[in-house]
């Protein structure tokens, strides 16, 4: 039986299968879905080949949906915090998160020119699937979170191939357990450190006051230049110069942290800031053209956040005990980025543009040369 911490459901090796030294204890699936109640779904669109015909393809794109409280809890808010390391991108709903420390509904990630479609389609899905959303007397409203990164190097991004139906399909497909990674969902057409990037996930387990809590990470990686790439502290990108791209390194990363640890909104904002440290471990400087935007939420304190009257009690980890959660965020984000690269394979997109996958054998050899390889 395969170990989902090391291998995707389709059998692709993850970072832990390549002997990369990684710190911390993972959850059962080493995924954001290790946080109880969190579901993830994909719609992946891969069609056509050859020269770009705007509106006709080739298509290399998709949608990712993250449901903090599952489909049945889509209308129930979670406490949340956000942070923008570099703002050349979009993550909708963050003004309301900043104002109230909460968000509700599915979180979606797609390509830059489909972000509005994803946001609006999420509201359409909620109107159709959340009981009482429109009851004839009182109109409910939503400000869902939708993020984007740019896939125009490989995809017919101006063909607007992501539809509202595709967004709803991703939400309806959301599940728990082990997840596919790489060129799936919103990550389908993405590039990271001039290798094929995309969707990646990981998790860590932290014990506080005798109880285990999970910190799960999900990234849509689409950032960085080849020479910047660092793996386990090793400057891998300097040694892998074949197949570099005529590429500015702008692009973006959207990263989401989920946890069941009881935290207040300002503490979640602190976790969102630490995502930047996890991203930096892989070597990027957060380029001027990069949209590096992060979200953290907790599924804890559900009764308190749902209440509409009376004084409420919410539990939280004391500030001077929060460092293990910071550590978990950094470790999980770093591994999620590596998984988005390592689970991938080369892709040919519009105009026969080819993006290579991070080569496993060469990676292992470089890590061995630097004494940073841990064989089974």
Active-site residues: which are they?
A: 252, 290, 292
Tokens of 267: 């503490």
* Cβ contact 191:245 at 8 Å: yes
CA-angle at 253, arms to 332 and 62, nearest 5°:
105
Long-range contacts of 15-18 (CB under 8 A, 24+ apart): 15/335, 15/338, 15/339, 15/342, 16/335, 18/342, 18/360, 18/363, 18/364
Element (H, E) at 39: strand 39-47
β partners of residue 80: 297
* Cβ contact 187:150 at 8 Å: no
Query: In a 3-state reduction of DSSP, which class is residue 204?
Result: strand
Of residues 72, 66, 39, 76, the one with CA closest to residue 304: 76
CA distances from 146 to 38, 167, 190, 211 (A): 17, 11, 17, 32
At 238, phi and psi to the nearest 5? -70, -20
User: What's the number of CA atoms in the CB half-sphere (13 Å) around residue 362?
Assistant: 12
d(CA 278, CA 224): 14
Of residues 338, 259, 331, 339, the one with CA closest to residue 296: 259
- CB-CB neighbours of 46 under 10 Å: 19
Q: Parallel, antiparallel, or unpaired for β 347-348 and 78-87?
A: unpaired
């Amino acid at each position: 039986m395969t170990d989902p911490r090391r291998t995707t459901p389709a059998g692709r090796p993850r970072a832990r299968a390549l002997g990369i030294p990684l710190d911390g204890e993972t959850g059962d699936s080493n995924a954001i879905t290790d946080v109880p109640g969190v579901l993830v779904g994909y719609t992946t669109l891969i069609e056509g080949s050859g020269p770009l015909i705007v509106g006709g393809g080739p298509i290399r794109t998709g949608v990712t949906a993250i449901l903090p409280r599952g489909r049945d809890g889509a209308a129930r808010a979670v406490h949340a915090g956000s942070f923008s390391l570099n703002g050349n991108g979009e993550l909708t709903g963050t003004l309301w998160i900043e104002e109230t420390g909460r968000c509700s509904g599915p979180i979606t990630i797609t390509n830059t020119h489909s972000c509005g479609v994803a946001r609006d389609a999420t509201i359409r899905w909620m109107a159709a699937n959340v009981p009482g959303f429109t009851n004839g007397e009182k109109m409910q409203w939503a400000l869902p979170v939708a993020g984007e990164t740019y896939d125009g190097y490989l995809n017919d991004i101006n063909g607007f191939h992501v539809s509202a139906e595709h967004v709803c399909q991703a939400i309806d497909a959301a599940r728990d357990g082990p997840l596919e990674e790489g060129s799936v969902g919103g990550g389908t057409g993405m590039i990271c450190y001039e290798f094929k990037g995309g969707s990646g996930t990981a998790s860590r387990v932290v014990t506080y006051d005798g109880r285990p809590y999970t910190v799960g990470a999900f990234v849509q990686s689409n950032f960085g230049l080849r020479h910047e790439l660092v793996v386990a502290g090793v400057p891998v990108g300097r040694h892998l110069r074949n197949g570099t791209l005529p590429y500015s390194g702008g692009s973006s990363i959207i990263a989401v942290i989920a946890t069941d640890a009881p935290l207040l909104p300002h503490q979640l904002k602190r976790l969102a800031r630490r995502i930047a440290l996890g991203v930096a471990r892989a070597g990027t400087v957060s380029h001027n053209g990069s949209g590096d935007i992060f979200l953290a939420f907790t599924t804890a304190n559900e009764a308190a956040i749902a209440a509409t009257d009376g004084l409420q009690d919410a539990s939280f980890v004391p500030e001077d005990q929060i460092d293990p959660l910071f550590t978990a965020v950094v470790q999980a984000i770093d591994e999620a980025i590596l998984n988005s690269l390592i689970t991938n394979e080369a892709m040919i997109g519009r105009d026969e543009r080819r993006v290579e996958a991070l080569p496993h054998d060469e990676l292992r050899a470089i890590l061995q040369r630097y004494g940073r390889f841990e064989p089974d």
